Chains A and B, each alone.
Chain A
Amino acid sequence: RKEVEQDPGPFNVPEGATVAFNCTYSNSASQSFFWYRQDCRKEPKLLMSVYSSGNEDGRFTAQLNRASQYISLLIRDSKLSDSATYLCVVKWDGGFKTIFGAGTRLFVKA
């Protein structure tokens, strides 16, 4: 089993739709969690950290479920500009171990 797993997609959604991605992790000692966005042939950029109580940043909501060992990202009112690959990132061992998921591709269509 991979340490961090994501559905590769692609998710094809119309503008204005709500879309959700999940990411599962295998290490129960995982300490911190992030979502990154990566555009085609570009570097990953931090989208948001994921906190235990869940957190929101505009149209984006991140949730953590420690019991089931997954994190989620919800995007509301999708925009064309949201089209990208979304990477799930998990850290443990005091932050020295960082694992990136392979990403979920999202296409938002007009």
Chain B
Amino acid sequence: DGGITQSPKYLFRKEGQNVTLSCEQNLNHDAMYWYRQDPGQGLRLIYYSQIVNDFQKGDIAEGYSVSREKKESFPLTVTSAQKNPTAFYLCASSIRDRGGNQPQHFGDGTRLSIL
């Protein structure tokens, strides 16, 4: 089955630690995205990538880093510089379209908490 796989489902971070969230898709989508969702709030864009080896900062990129070495993979690292990392992290992908008509499809998310 085609889809987006995020792992782990739950993750705990210690103070001063960097952690990496995995996102893999087999939909052959060019574009991939990372969002953060806090309780009662909408999704906020962290980073996005329209093509391999290229990515752009979203609205709340500080304290996060990404890489896009393969089309299928877009890992997100939450660094120790992110002082409030507790949230629900969602990875999405879509067909890259300049017309803007293609929806994004989501993985089932990673819940990150501070120990």
Q: Once bound together, how far apart are the Cα atoms of A64 and B83, in whole Å?
A: 40
Are B100 and A34 in contact, CB atoms less than 8 angstroms apart? no
In the complex, whether A91 has a CB less than 8 A from a CB of chain B is yes
Size of the chain A interface, CB-CB below 8 angstroms: 26
Are B100 and A91 in contact, CB atoms less than 8 angstroms apart? yes
Q: Once bound together, how far apart are the Cα atoms of A99 and B43, in whole Å?
A: 8
Using an 8 Å CB-CB cutoff, how does the interface string of B92-111 with A read, 1 for contact, 0 for none? 00000111111111111100
In the complex, whether A58 has a CB less than 8 A from a CB of chain B is no
In the complex, whether B66 has a CB less than 8 A from a CB of chain A is no
Give the nearest-CB partner of B107 in chain A: A43
With A93-B100, A95-B100 as contacts: A46 and B105 at CB distance below 8 Å: yes
Q: Once bound together, how far apart are the Cα atoms of A103 and B50, in whole Å?
A: 26
Size of the chain B interface, CB-CB below 8 angstroms: 24
Are B106 and A92 in contact, CB atoms less than 8 angstroms apart? no
With A98-B104, A101-B42, A102-B40 as contacts: A44 and B99 at CB distance below 8 Å: no
Q: A32 to chain B: which residues have CB within 8 Å? A: 99-101
Q: B108 to chain A: which residues have CB within 8 Å? A: 42-43
Interface residues of A (CB under 8 A from B): 4, 8, 31-32, 34, 41-46, 49, 87, 89, 91-96, 98-103
Interface residues of B (CB under 8 A from A): 33, 35, 40-43, 45, 48, 50, 88, 90, 97-109
23 contacts between A and B (CB under 8 A): A31-B99, A31-B100, A32-B99, A32-B101, A42-B109, A43-B107, A43-B108, A43-B109, A46-B103, A46-B105, A49-B101, A87-B43, A92-B100, A94-B98, A95-B98, A95-B99, A95-B100, A95-B102, A96-B50, A98-B45, A99-B42, A101-B42, A102-B41
